[in-house]
Amino acid sequence: MNFDKYERLTFERRGRVLWISIDAGPMNAVDFPLHEELAHVFYEAQSDDDSDLIVLTGAGRAFCAGGDMDWFQEMIDDPAKFRGITTDAKRIVNGLLEMEKPIVCRLNGAAAGLGASIALLCDVIIADERALIGDPHVKVGLVAGDGGAVIWPQLIGFARAKEMLLTGDMLRGSEAAAMGLINYAVPTDELDAKVDEMVGKILANPRWAVRWTKTAVNLVLRDIANKVMEPAIAYEVSSNAMKDRQEAISAFVEKRAPNYTGE
């Protein structure tokens, strides 16, 4: 499989392991091109004959710090652009859940919003203990429709998931590991060794036993995604039209406290 067409993602082969890095600027924020590439890459990685395991990480100091503010404003100004990304939003979640190959998340830095959803939909998540992870959709005036409502309750239960999704609070990697949201949180200088250790353990087992075990486990998650994603995205599209959505973005850009009206 040739991945040369990608501009926001970079690829490296290490034996039978395909490393995919989100490489879209200082914080790897999501814009239209990255969103589109994420909708396709997991299907193509599944079809890649030269790899048996995927490591997903971020280039630089962040994993994927959510949506780019200019991108958000574009979709407020032209709601058709938001409607236009809904199919890809479903493909991102489904691509991760339908992939048979195991995918290890190397959570090297901040993962917010869609970035957090992508990380949590991986099979094993290993984080820098100082990395931040959370889903602050509500803080930018949006419904957590792009996977957060699917995966957070399955990992930490509904009470904790609703707390995190309704507050938009961020967790340190060490806190996330302690509550079972992710698998491991380690010091920065131990992150690569822990990822390599996990990759080695998985690859030491027979390929098809691993792939089909993952597939069996993900069947329930796929059913949940099929039930939740359509209405969640519809709610998210609706929330994009609210006045408080614009106020949230304006306040963030202007570095001031928001003045919400409830509209």
- For the chain, percent of residues with pLDDT exceeding 70: 100
Strands 170-172 and 132-134: antiparallel
How does pLDDT run across 142-167, given as a tens digit for each residue? 999 999 999 999 999 999 999 999 99
With respect to CATH, is domain 9-207 assigned 3.90.226.10? yes
pLDDT at 1: 86
Q: What pLDDT, in 10s, does the model give residues 1-15?
A: 899 999 999 999 999
| Distance separating alpha carbons of residues 211 and 224, to the nearest angstrom | 20
Instruction: Provide the pLDDT for residue 9.
Output: 98
pLDDT digits 0-9 by tens, 204-258: 999 999 999 999 999 999 999 999 999 999 999 999 999 999 999 999 999 999 9
Sign of CA dihedral 89, 254, 7, 97: negative
Residue matched to tokens 């979709």: 75
**The model scores a pTM over 0.85:** yes
pLDDT of 202 over the 90 cut: yes
- Domain locations along the chain: 9-207
Query: Is the separation of the CB atoms in 95 and 39 below 8 Å?
Result: yes
95-137 pLDDT, tens digit per residue, is 999 999 999 999 999 999 999 999 999 999 999 999 999 999 9
Confidence grade of residue 22 (pLDDT, cut at 50, 70, 90): very high
- What gap in Å lies between CA 135 and CA 169, rounded to an integer? 7
- Average pLDDT of the chain is 97
| Residue matched to tokens 């879209």 | 24
